[in-house]
């Protein structure tokens, strides 16, 4: 066989091989439903395409770069078989939603405004020149009367003043516009210098017995989205029911807009290990052979706030800040600032942002500024993909994820119609009407449900620690509400009084909600000197202590009040403690707590007194004050 003939046959065979490859078609899918978790979301999409007989590779393009490929599921209806499903990362496609594009549009608009201002300034100069050229009043040889001269002077003064005023205003606007242009140009440069974010694609290889239309349902998990439960708790007065307004703070920065989709909010945690923990053997040994962990963390009460920045020290908006092990969380604002209320016992905060290493930090201060670093584990695996033959071999390279810095506007507030469904292991809140949520990282505060619940109100006070009376609303049968732990804004008598944590998962029959301090109840605790003595009795010392608690209700309504105090409890046989006066308090012998329950009439007052004696050996010392 001649060499040319042999070469022709080889080329013919290669051509036949490529002709036999599965044809490629784009499958366009639309997001129909989204289930949002506290950290992440599950996307449900539908689409249809005309499929030829034989093998076809269907490509779903332009999906979120934060897709979890392990969660990808594809189902179809029609006379075909799904042979394989692969996730690919495409660095050659344009970003899904380009912040840079919108900034360029703004920049063009501001440049146009500047051109108009410059043109206005030129017009003002021409007007001034025209006035200057015509200020010769009547010519050199023609005199004017005093009246005409005054009128002319008034005219020129008015016109020149108006022009000067417009020039000053024009220069100010030009300065502001140039400053906007500088900031926009800097922001555009920042976006252009950021690492390239790939676009996710789903490649589906199918085999059809005959040509026809096939319908596909695609679902997958994405990061870069979440929601937190929030509450407004309102009490008009202690004679009316309590009102709980259940809200959700929702955000998404996945790269795809969610337009007119069905939204569900779920308390499930799909990224958390679902395996039952295994109890290990407990080997008990002597204390000297036992390794004890470091001391307890400093307990921080109340609110923790701070700023989250990237590795360059720039503020990071849209960072998720979560109390570890709970659904209590928030996200940073446009300046990277956050503020979060801690529940009792909370000791760790988790900071997460797509493309950056998560930070798990112990709470040791009320001010915590966090610096987040790039996720080098992903950066070391970057492979730039194009439309090469490698893509047909099923390879899925690693992905380097870097999210554009979003800019937030003020929180939106919009009531939604919802249905709460309790499943076997989770609770879902389903929004009745389709909703649109854009991929800009903005926090959207939506009203899920408003509940008015009967509550009993009672005041509690611990004057030894705080001379304030705290109003507590106690709600029964709260289990049916399907609430989640979250931050709550407190309103009493139409006044904002602070924040608290609503924790409905506690194992209690009654849900207690603290409505804060009430300045209308005055409490004073003081030591009674005449009954506080110390004397020697044989080989022992006998010390006496007496305290007086004065309570006054300056409100126009009667109140129920519980006051708690204490006397010491001896844990040594040589020390004895005996109560000599309790003013009718009930006493917990094991803990030494004293409790008074009373009902104070409007403008009423009451005085409580308790005394106790402590006897201990003279050679020892005890601390009673």
Cα–Cα distance, 222 to 71 (Å, whole number): 9
What per-residue confidence (pLDDT) applies to 15? Answer: 44
For the record, the structure tokens of 255 come out as 């790269």
Would you place residue 195 in the very low, low, confident or very high pLDDT band (cuts 50, 70, 90)?
A: low
Percent of the chain with pLDDT over 90: 23
- Whether residue 495 lies inside any domain: the answer is no
For the cut 70, the answer to whether the pLDDT of residue 578 exceeds it is yes
The residues facing 438 across adjacent strands are none
Q: Report how far residue 607's alpha carbon sits from residue 601's, in angstroms, rounded to the nearest whole number.
A: 14
Give the C-alpha separation, 89 to 63, whole Å.
10
| 297 pLDDT tier (thresholds 50, 70, 90) | very low
Closest CA to 358 of 329, 319, 327: 319
* pLDDT over 50 (residue 500): yes
Total of domains in the chain: 2
Q: Is the pLDDT of residue 194 over 90?
A: no
Domain assignment of residue 62, yes or no: no
Better-predicted residue by pLDDT, 91 or 340: 340
pLDDT tens digits for 67-105? 888 889 999 987 889 999 999 888 766 554 445 556 777
Extended beta strands in 310-381, E state: 320-323, 329-331, 337-341, 348-352, 359-362, 370-371
Residue partners of 41: CB distance under 8 A and separation at least 6: 34, 35, 221, 222, 225, 226, 252, 254
Give 555's DSSP letter: S
Query: Residue 512: its pLDDT value, please?
Result: 80
Is the CB of residue 361 less than 8 Å from the CB of residue 348?
yes
For residue 162, which of 174, 154, 150 has the smallest C-alpha distance? Answer: 154
Name the most confidently modeled range: 14-28, 462-476, 597-611.
Answer: 597-611
What is the average pLDDT score of the chain? 78
| CATH code for position 535 | 2.60.40
Task: Say whether pLDDT at 212 is over 80.
Answer: yes
Q: In what order do the strands lie in the sheet with 359-362?
A: 329-331, 320-323, 348-352, 359-362
Mean pLDDT of 386-390: 31
* CB-based burial label for 380 (10 Å; 0-12, 13-18, 19+): exposed
**Do residues 435 and 252 lie in contact, with contact meaning Cβ atoms separated by under 8 Å?**
no
pLDDT tens for 416-461 read 555 655 554 566 788 778 888 888 767 788 888 888 888 888 999 9
171, 174, 176, 181: CA torsion to nearest 10: -160
Residue 11: in which H helix or E strand, if any? helix 3-20
In a 3-state reduction of DSSP, which class is residue 309? strand
Percent with pLDDT over 70 in the chain: 76
* pLDDT at position 611 over 50: yes
Q: How many whole angstroms from its chain centre is CA 620?
A: 55
What Cα–Cα distance (Å) separates residue 514 from each residue in 237, 260, 473, 495?
14, 39, 6, 15
Q: In terms of Cα–Cα distance, which of 20, 22, 29 is closest to 76?
A: 29
Tokens 């998560």 locate to 358
Residue 460 in domain: no
28 lies in some domain: no
Angle between helices 99-133 and 146-193 (to 10 degrees): 160
Query: Cα–Cα distance between 470 and 457 in angstroms, integer?
Result: 10
Q: Which residues constitute the domain of residue 529?
A: 522-617
Partner residues linked to 48 by β-bridges: 215
The answer to whether residue 161 is domain-embedded is yes
CA Rg value for the chain: 37
Answer with the residue of higher pLDDT: 295 or 134: 134
Write down the pLDDT at residue 550.
96
Q: Please check the confidence at residue 412 and state whether its pLDDT lies above 50.
A: no
CA-CA-CA-CA dihedral for 146, 151, 152, 157, to nearest 10: 120
Question: Rounded to an integer, what distance in angstroms lies between the CA atom of residue 548 and that of residue 565?
Answer: 11
Residue 122 covered by a domain = yes
| Residue 168, in any domain of the structure | yes
User: Alpha-carbon distance 361 to 350, whole Å?
Assistant: 6
Residue 311, SS3?
A: coil
Question: Can you tell me the mean pLDDT for 271-288?
Answer: 55
Find how far residue 401's CA is from the centre of its chain: 21
Mean pLDDT of 368-379: 74
Q: Residue written as tokens 């909370």?
A: 346
- CB-based contact 397:89 (threshold 8 Å): yes
Q: Given a cut of 80, is residue 410 above it in pLDDT?
A: no
245 HSE (CA, 13 A, CB side): 15
User: Cβ distance 45 to 30 under 8 Å?
Assistant: yes
- Inter-CA distances, 227 with 244, 413, 443, Å: 19, 14, 9
Answer yes or no: is 577 within a domain: yes
């Amino acid at each position: 066989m001649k060499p040319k003939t042999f070469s022709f046959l080889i080329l013919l065979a290669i051509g036949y091989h490529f002709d036999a490859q599965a044809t490629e078609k784009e499958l366009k899918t639309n997001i129909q439903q989204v289930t949002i978790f506290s950290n992440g979301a599950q996307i449900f999409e539908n689409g249809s395409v005309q499929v030829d007989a034989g093998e076809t590779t269907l490509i779903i393009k332009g999906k979120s770069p934060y897709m979890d490929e392990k969660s990808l599921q594809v189902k179809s209806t029609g006379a075909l078989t799904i042979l394989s499903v692969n996730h690919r990362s495409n660095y050659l496609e344009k970003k899904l939603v380009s912040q840079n594009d919108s900034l360029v549009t703004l920049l063009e608009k501001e440049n146009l405004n500047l051109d108009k201002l410059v043109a206005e300034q030129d017009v003002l100069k021409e007007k001034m020149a025209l006035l200057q050229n015509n200020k010769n009043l009547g010519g050199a040889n023609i005199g004017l009367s005093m009246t005409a001269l005054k009128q002319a002077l008034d005219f020129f003064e008015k016109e020149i003043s108006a022009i000067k005023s417009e020039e000053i205003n024009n220069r100010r606007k030009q300065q502001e516009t140039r400053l906007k242009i500088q900031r926009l140009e800097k922001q555009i440069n920042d976006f252009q210098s950021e690492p390239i974010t790939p676009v996710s694609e789903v490649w589906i290889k199918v085999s059809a017995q005959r040509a026809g239309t096939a319908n596909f349902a695609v679902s997958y998990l994405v990061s870069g989205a979440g929601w937190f439960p929030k509450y407004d708790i309102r009490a008009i007065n202690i004679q009316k029911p309590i009102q709980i307004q259940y809200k959700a703070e929702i955000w998404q920065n996945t790269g795809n807009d969610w337009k007119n989709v069905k939204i569900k909010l779920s308390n499930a945690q799909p990224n958390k290990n679902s395996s039952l923990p295994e109890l290990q053997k407990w080997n008990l040994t002597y204390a000297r052979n036992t390794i004890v962990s470091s001391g307890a963390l400093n307990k921080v009460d109340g609110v923790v706030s701070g700023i989250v920045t990237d590795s360059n020290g720039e503020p990071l908006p849209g960072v998720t800040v979560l109390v570890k092990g709970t659904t209590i969380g928030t996200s940073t604002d446009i300046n990277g600032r956050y503020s979060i209320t801690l529940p009792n016992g909370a000791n760790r905060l988790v900071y997460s942002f797509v493309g950056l290493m998560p930070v798990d930090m112990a709470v040791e201060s009320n001010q915590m500024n966090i610096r987040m670093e790039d996720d080098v584990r992903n950066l070391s695996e970057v492979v730039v993909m194009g439309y090469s033959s490698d893509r047909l071999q099923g390879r899925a390279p690693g992905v380097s994820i870097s999210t554009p810095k979003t800019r937030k506007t003020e929180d939106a507030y919009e009531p939604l119609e919802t249905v709460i469904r309790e499943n076997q292991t989770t609770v879902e809140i389903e929004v009745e009407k389709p909703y649109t949520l854009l991929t800009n990282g903005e926090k959207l505060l939506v009203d899920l449900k408003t509940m008015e619940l009967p509550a009993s109100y009672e005041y509690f006070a611990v004057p030894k620690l705080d001379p304030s009376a705290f109003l507590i609303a106690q709600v029964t049968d709260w289990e049916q509400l399907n609430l989640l732990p979250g931050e709550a804004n407190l309103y009493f008598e139409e006044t904002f009084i602070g924040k608290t944590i609503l924790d409905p998962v506690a194992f209690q029959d009654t849900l207690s909600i603290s409505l804060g301090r009430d300045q209308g109840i005055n409490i004073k605790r003081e030591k009674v000197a005449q009954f506080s003595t110390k004397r020697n009795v044989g080989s022992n010392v006998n010390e006496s202590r007496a305290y007086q608690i004065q309570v006054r209700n300056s409100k126009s309504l009667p109140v129920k009040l519980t006051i708690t105090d204490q006397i010491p409890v001896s844990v040594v046989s040589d020390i004895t403690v005996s109560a000599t006066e309790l003013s009718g308090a009930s006493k917990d012998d094991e803990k030494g707590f004293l409790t008074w329950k009373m009902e104070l009439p409007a403008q009423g007052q009451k005085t409580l007194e308790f005394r106790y004696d402590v006897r201990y050996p003279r050679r020892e010392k005890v601390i009673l004050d």
